[in-house]
């Protein structure tokens, strides 16, 4: 996530001026004198003991290629518009696999191949229906959707409702107050938090485990407030889980407007009921694939740098920001290196992971094969926070390694991507940590303030993605790969 630090803007302004002079594309840079260019290059390089004057030139080439001839946006247009939502096990997920392989082959990577993986196959069925029913039979329709992995209702399911804000509050209630009812988990995002991702994490347990906790107390189902600070009628899906030792009950997300309305009506009439109808079900696992493309390293090919996003998406929208943007940026990062004539010293892989949303089977299989093949992974980068304006990178590593990344910040700051801090790398690359112990897991950090407005909803569509922001993200990732490949860790 994002960490705007006061004082960064002053450094960015000065370094931007220096880097533009070194750059090759802007017209005013081309007209600058040779002496001015050399002076600017030295000024930028002097900010880090681990870079030389050619690095700022190389990064400027990457950004020029991305901004003037980038392919991420058009690739995303096809992925989201022609193929669409790509829930694991669906025909669209298989089409996305074929598209990813063909796209990387056309890009001319040294090797493109598939990794087979068995994935869950959950289907939503017909559109869900939810109604608040008063004691006089008056019905109020509200926006609901099934949470991923939920069982269906087996027709219409009507019951009373008990509202709670936490698992502790639920456990404190007498059994008679819960048994035979829906448990309505209504803990909102903490909007005082600057990072929406932190709010998402703190509210997420009610979605992931709400059905388990509700069933333990004898409830017939779980209703969960959507994980967003937006106030609208767009329910947010997302994965949930069951405990084999606990009865499976249906779990649905309410839009924030629906949750607010239900809460208000419950205060006026605690005896009201909720009627839910969902036809979702889990089918047998399906064979699918990770898609892998790589450029072999020129000097240290046995050392691997992975960059990736997840190819699957939820089924309500088009999977644009989550995670179509990460997929096309990962492909583009390798293409940018090729297009600018840079041959990485270490092997670089773009991996399109399958099944991040409801199982992470692709990430686990990639790590298993890496361990089985005794691969040496230097680092892994993931883009799974939307294709918004780049801010920098989150580094999951020891403090000494994080400090090494900070030495590269001055090179990235002119492009507003120099924010480097300790943080979460990514779900897909997470299994590598134990499997092959890379020196760093890295999460691409884009501006996340709008991300959870559309996350896991029908609003996650291509038109919500800005072309320039998307291409800047791919360039930031390619630039970091360039530095990792050249200097290692």
Rounded Cα–Cα distance for residues 42 and 19 (Å): 10
Rounded Cα–Cα distance for residues 232 and 143 (Å): 9
Sign of the torsion formed by the C-alpha atoms of 296, 298, 303 and 307: negative
Assign 197 to helix, strand or coil: helix
Nearest to 389 by CA among 313, 481, 476, 311: 476
Nearest to 265 by CA among 124, 427, 139: 139
Rounded Cα–Cα distance for residues 424 and 443 (Å): 6
Assign 161 to helix, strand or coil: strand
Assign 274 to helix, strand or coil: strand
Q: What is the dihedral of CA 423, 425, 430, 434, to 10 degrees?
A: -60
Phi-psi region of 455 (alpha: psi -120 to 50; beta: other; left: phi over 0): beta
Query: Side by side, which strands form the sheet with 139-142?
Result: 139-142, 129-133, 273-277, 156-164, 182-185, 221-225, 251-254, 144-146
Residue in the block written with tokens 């290692």:
488
- Sort 378 into a burial class: Cβ within 10 Å, 0-12 / 13-18 / 19+: buried
Q: Give the orientation angle of helix 54-69 with respect to helix 8-22, to 10 degrees.
A: 90
The helix or strand, by DSSP H or E, that contains position 111, with its residue range, turns out to be strand 111-123
Rounded Cα–Cα distance for residues 115 and 312 (Å): 15
The active-site residue, picked from 65, 163, 345, 356, is 356
Residue 356: active-site member: yes
Residues noted as catalytic:
356
């Amino acid at each position: 996530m994002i960490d705007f630090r006061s004082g960064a803007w002053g450094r960015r302004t000065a370094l931007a001026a220096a880097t533009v002079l070194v750059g090759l594309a802007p017209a005013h840079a081309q007209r600058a004198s040779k002496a001015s260019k050399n002076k600017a290059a030295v000024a930028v390089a002097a900010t880090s003991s681990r870079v030389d004057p050619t690095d700022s030139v190389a990064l400027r080439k990457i950004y020029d290629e991305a901004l003037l001839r980038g392919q991420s946006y058009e690739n995303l247009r096809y992925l989201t518009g022609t193929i669409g939502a790509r829930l694991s096990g669906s025909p669209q997920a298989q089409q996305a696999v074929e598209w990813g392989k063909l796209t990387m082959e056309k890009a001319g990577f040294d090797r493109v191949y598939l990794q087979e993986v068995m994935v869950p196959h959950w289907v939503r069925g017909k559109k869900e229906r939810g109604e608040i029913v008063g004691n006089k039979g008056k019905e109020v329709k509200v926006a609901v959707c099934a949470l991923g992995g939920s069982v269906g209702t087996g027709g219409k399911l009507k019951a009373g409702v008990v509202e709670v804000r936490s698992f502790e509050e639920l456990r404190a209630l007498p059994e008679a107050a819960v048994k035979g009812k829906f448990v309505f988990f209504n803990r909102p995002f903490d909007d005082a938090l600057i990072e929406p991702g932190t709010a998402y994490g703190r509210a997420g347990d009610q979605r992931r485990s709400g059905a388990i906790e509700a069933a333990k107390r004898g409830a017939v189902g779980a209703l969960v407030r959507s994980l967003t600070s937006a106030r609208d009628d767009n329910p947010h899906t997302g994965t949930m889980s069951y405990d084999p030792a606990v009865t499976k009950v249906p779990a649905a997300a309410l839009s924030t407007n629906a949750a607010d309305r239900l809460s208000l009506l419950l205060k006026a009439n605690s005896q009201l009921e909720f009627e839910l109808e969902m036809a979702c079900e889990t089918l047998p696992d399906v064979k699918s694939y990770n898609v892998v493309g790589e450029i072999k390293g020129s000097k240290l090919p046995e050392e691997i740098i992975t960059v990736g996003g997840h190819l699957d998406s939820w089924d309500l929208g088009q999977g644009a920001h989550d995670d179509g943007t990460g997929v096309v940026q990962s492909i583009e990062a390798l293409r940018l290196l090729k297009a600018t004539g840079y041959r990485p010293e270490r092997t670089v892989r773009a991996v399109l992971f399958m099944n991040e949303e409801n199982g992470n089977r692709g990430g686990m299989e990639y790590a298993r094969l890496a361990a089985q093949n005794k691969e040496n992974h230097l680092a892994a980068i993931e883009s799974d926070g939307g294709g918004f304006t780049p801010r920098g990178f989150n580094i999951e590593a020891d403090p000494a390694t994080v400090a090494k990344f900070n030495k590269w910040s001055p090179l990235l700051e002119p492009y507003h991507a120099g924010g480097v801090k300790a943080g979460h790398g990514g779900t897909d690359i997470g299994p590598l940590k134990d499997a092959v112990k890379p020196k760093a897991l890295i999460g691409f950090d884009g501006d996340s303030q709008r991300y959870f407005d559309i996350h896991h909803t029908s609003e996650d569509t291509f038109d919500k993605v800005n072309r320039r922001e998307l291409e800047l993200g791919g360039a930031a990732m390619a630039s970091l790969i360039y530095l990792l490949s050249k200097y290692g860790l």
